[in-house]
Structure formats: structure tokens, C-alpha cells
Structure 1
Amino acid sequence: MKQTARLLHASSFGAAAGAYAEHRPDYAPAAVRWALEPAPGPRVLDLGAGTGKLTGTLVALGADVIAVERDPAMLTELRRTLPAVRALSGSAEAIPLPDASVDAVLAGNALHWFDMAVAGPEIARVLAPGGILAGLWNVLDDRVDWVAGLERVSGSAGIGPRDTFSNWRAATVGLHLPDAGLVAEFGSPEQVEFPHGQRRTADSLVATIATRAGVLVMPEQEREATLSRIRAFLASRPETASGEFTLPMLTGVLRVRQR
């Protein structure tokens, strides 16, 4: 994605902060535990924290969490939901923390929005020796037939390569290493998935897809056409046509350790 398009997509979420907080899933606790397993201590930075979906899981696991988010509307939602968490305005490219102040930096569905040529050295700066950088993504299990059909109907704007089990590893494995300079900072990446099925209705699943950046930046007519097409597909499938169902999902983790 070109820089201008990336910035447009990355800045789209604030307008839908309330819907994002209501409909986006949290993260599998087992995935978060695995991400933090080698961290040298309990201090965790949730970077690009959004409305606090990952922050809440970190708090529940007993981590000492600081959340950093650049979008004011998203940050407001986070502070409303998790008032006890220290939540700061800032970005991956300008982290408002001192050197070596955290043991792990985690990013939930956010690492791909960072300009890692700038953010990589910043992350390395705030990490204590041996610290962990981990990106987490909630991905659809497109090995399930109807989920693969949903992907086709939604198009890449609704469900992109990072959003499916089949593609997320290839789409994310190099995100922490944009240039040779960072190779010396971090070790080899590890990637693992953890089951994280979500209870949904057709309406709530459509509302979730509507909070994706590719949909948020669509012209209104195109967005409504896309969401209508998804509703029609869900109404046509016996798995999703009536009542609640389990959306097959996993939380994928990309983990690297600072040398």
C-alpha cells in the first residue's frame, strides 16, 4: 500500500470509534500469554491501542500496561472503557516514553499501519534489553467453506490478506524488518495461531466488517452496496441465516525478541 493510502486507511477509524469498540473482537488470552512468554518483565506497551481491545486482555492477564494511541476519538473510548489504565496520546513513530522503559511492545491489528522505518528504532529504544515486539491479528478461518465464501463476497477491502488464516503469515512476517538496520535489532520471527471463535449474528458480523479500514474509506454508495452484498450472502447460508452462530476465528501472533 502506498504511503498516502496507508495514512488514509490508518486515520479512518476515529469516525467509527464507538462501533469499533462495540463490534471488534478482543484477543485470545492464550495468544497474548504466548506473545509475552519470553519478556524479561511485566511492563507492556500496547502500541496503537485503539479502543483498548488488546489492552483489556493484557490487564486481565495481570500485565503492567501503558496504552498509546494517536487518534483522539479512539483514545477517548479506551479511557472510558479502561479508566484505570495509563493511556497516552502518541504514535509508533513518536512514542512518549523514556528509553528502556518497557519489557514488551504489543500491537493488536496495528503493526501494519506503522511506518517501521521510523517506528522500528523507536520501539527498539523503549524496549529493555531482551524485550519482545509482537503483532497480533484476529483472522478468519477461511478453511471453513462459508467463511471462504464470505471472503470472496466481501472483496479485499472488507477482508484483506492479513484477515485470513491462509494468508496472514505471509502478509505479516516481514513487517518488523523494513530495512537491514533493524535486522540487527531483532531476532528471527515466530508465528503461531490460537483459536478464538466469536459469537455473532448476521447483523453484528456486518457491523464488524463495516469497521474495517477498506470499508470505512469507501464512498458511501459503494460501502452500502458492499455491505448489502454481504448481508445477502449471510442470509443465503444455513450456517448464518438465523440467530447466533460461531464465527471461526484465530488470533495470529508474530513475535520477535530484541537482541
Structure 2
Amino acid sequence: MAEDMATSFGAQAGDYEAGRPEYPFDAVAWMLERMPADSRRVADVGAGTGKLTRVLTQAPDAEVVAVDPDPEMLAALRGAVPGVPTFVGSAERLPLPDASVDAVVLGQAWHWVDPVAGSTEIGRAVRSGGVLGLIWNIRDDRVEWVRRLTEVMHGSHAEIMLAEGDPVVTAPFGPLDQERWEWVRPVTRDVLHRMAASRSYIITAADEEKARIRRELDALFDELDLHGDATIDLPYVTRAYRAVRD
């Protein structure tokens, strides 16, 4: 089931693109700070529709490629971030030569990866002194209505993993550094519905469960008086990690 969830997003690529947040540039820049100074070759693995890819392309002199196991997601990425080379693959099976990139980054994706196999394979593709960067946008459940939103939708694999501790990264990478950023995203009722529709639990749920979740979301949004083009600030905590290859 977990593998089915991990590869389920292509069916909802449009909702994923519309419903999921962007990444703060400062957080992405922080992940790349430890890259070797003489080259800026970066692979975005588990790139999806390009939410992280488009921020990476804003980094000075960055040469970016995108890797994802789902061709439908990569098709959406090519429309959103034209000109970035795309390849079908995963963290455990990268379509990249040995020591060919200076950084590999994963946005909302490491929780789908076998950490030992992923660290080994990424270590093969990243040259010595290069970086592995991991980043997640997590809704801030310290806010009451956001906590209720999560209860209706169910916690994600990422939220569960990070609640239990920091992600696991193994050799050939050194210890993880980490930082966090807090910010808000104005969202409409429709964006919140599309965000929910893009989540693996809901994509793979039975029709009855999908209908129940939509009813309960609508009840929450009615209570918040969130209608039409009206927006509400959805708070996020962005958590970023980086490790340097030996």
C-alpha cells in the first residue's frame, strides 16, 4: 500500500500543482550553501510537478535536472518549468552517472525512500563534498482550525515521520544540519479542497471515504465562513536538512 501511495500522485497532478505550497527561497538556498563552489549541478529527486524545481532554477548558476518515478508528474513539471531536463527514476535508482552532480535534493519525498538504499545510491551520484538536501512544508497544527483540518484529512506519512524524529540519512553522508522557517500562505476554499485531493491517503481511498472527507471539510470551511474568493492564512513550518558527502 505504501508503494501504491508513493506512486499515486500522477492521477492528481493538477490538484497537486494547484493545492501544494511553494518552498521558501531562503530555505532552498540554505540547503545548497554547502555545495562545492566550483560547480552547481543539482538533481531534484521526487520532483513531482516542479514545486521545488522552480525555486532551484532561481539559484545563481544552478544547472538543474528533475527525476520522478511518475511520467504524469514529469509531464506537468515540463509545462510548469520549461527547459529543465526530466528523467524517470527514484532515489534508490537514479538515472545519473557516478559523481555527476553536486547536490541531490528531495522535497516532500524522503519519507517514501528507503533511507539506507537511498543514501547509498545518492552517494554514488553525488561527488565528494556534495550535498544531500531534504525539505518539507508542514502545516502548523498549533493553530486550532489547521489541527482540525489535519484530523479530517488524516496525517501524512511525512508528518508522522517528522513527529517521531529527524529523518535518517546514512553513509556516505555525514551528520544532518537542520533549520526551520515559519510562514503563511493565503488560501481559498477551492485551494484547500485541491490540496486535500492531492494527498496520497485520499487519492487511494474508497469513494465513500473521499465523500466523507469532502463533507467534513465543507463543514469546517462553512464554520470559518470561507467562501468564493475569500482567503484564510494557512500557517506552515518549513523544515530543511542537509548533509555533506564524505
User: What's the TM-score once normalised by structure 1's chain length?
Assistant: 0.87
- The match for 1:20 among 8, 11, 16 is 16
User: Which residue number in structure 2 is paired with residue 8 of structure 1?
Assistant: 4
Mapped partners of 2:150, 2:65: distance in 1: 35
> Root-mean-square deviation (CA), in Å?
1.8
Aligned partners of 2:104 and 2:122 also within 8 Å: yes
Map of 1:93 onto structure 2: 92
| Aligned pairs for 1:147-162 within 5 A | 147-154=146-153, 156=154, 159-160=155-156, 162=158
Residue 35 to residue 93, structure 1, CA distance change in 2 (3 Å): same
Moved more, 228-237 or 103-112: 228-237
Output the CA distance in 1 between the equivalents of 2:66 and 2:164. 25
Deviations 1:80-106 (A, max 9, x none): 222211111222121111111111110
Number of aligned pairs? Answer: 242
Q: Which residue of structure 2 aligns with residue 33 of structure 1?
A: 29
Cα displacement (A) at 1:175: 3.1
Q: Deviations over 1:168-217 (max 9, x none)?
A: 6444623324xxxx3xx222222221134212012211210110111111
- The 3-state SS of whatever aligns with 1:56 is helix
1:45 equivalent among 22, 43, 46: 43
The CA distance in 1 between the partners of 2:142 and 2:115, in whole Å, is: 31
1:76 pairs with 2:72: no
Distance in 1, matches of 2:215 and 2:58, equals: 37
Cα distance in 1, alignment partners of residues 157 and 177 from structure 2: 19
Residue in structure 2 matching 1:60, options 53, 58, 61 = 58
Give a deviation string over 1:117-158, Cα, whole Å, max 9, x none.
32221100011111111111111111222212222233x2xx
Instruction: Write the distance in 1 (CA, Å) between the matches of 2:128 and 2:100.
Output: 10
**Aligned partners of 1:254, 1:110: CA distance in 2, in Å?**
13
Contact 1:209 1:215 in 2 (8 A): yes
Amino acid at match of 2:202: V
Whether contact under 8 Å (1:28, 1:195) holds in the other structure is no
Q: Is the 8 A contact 2:23 2:51 kept in 1?
A: yes
Counterparts of 1:188 and 1:102 in 2: how far apart (Å)?
A: 20
Matched, 1:121 2:120: yes
Could you say if the C-alpha distance between residues 58 and 172 of structure 1 is closer, same or farther in structure 2, counting changes exceeding 3 Å? farther
Q: Helix, strand or coil for the counterpart of 1:96?
A: coil
In structure 2, C-alpha distance between the alignment counterparts of 1:42 and 1:30, rounded to whole Å? 17
Other-structure match for 1:199: 186
Partner of residue 173, structure 1: 166
Q: 1:205 to 1:26 in 2, by over 3 A?
A: same
> Deviations for 1:45-94, whole angstroms, at most 9, x for unmatched residues?
10011111100010122321111111010011111222211111222121
Matched, 1:249 2:236: yes
What CA distance in whole angstroms lies between the structure 2 residues aligned with 1:190 and 1:101?
23
User: Is contact 2:106-2:134 (8 Å) kept?
Assistant: yes
Q: Secondary structure at the match of 1:248?
A: strand
8 Å CA contact 1:13, 1:211 repeated in 2:
yes
Map 1:231-250; keep pairs closer than 5 Å.
231-237=218-224, 240=226, 243-250=230-237
- 3-state secondary structure, aligned to 1:73: helix
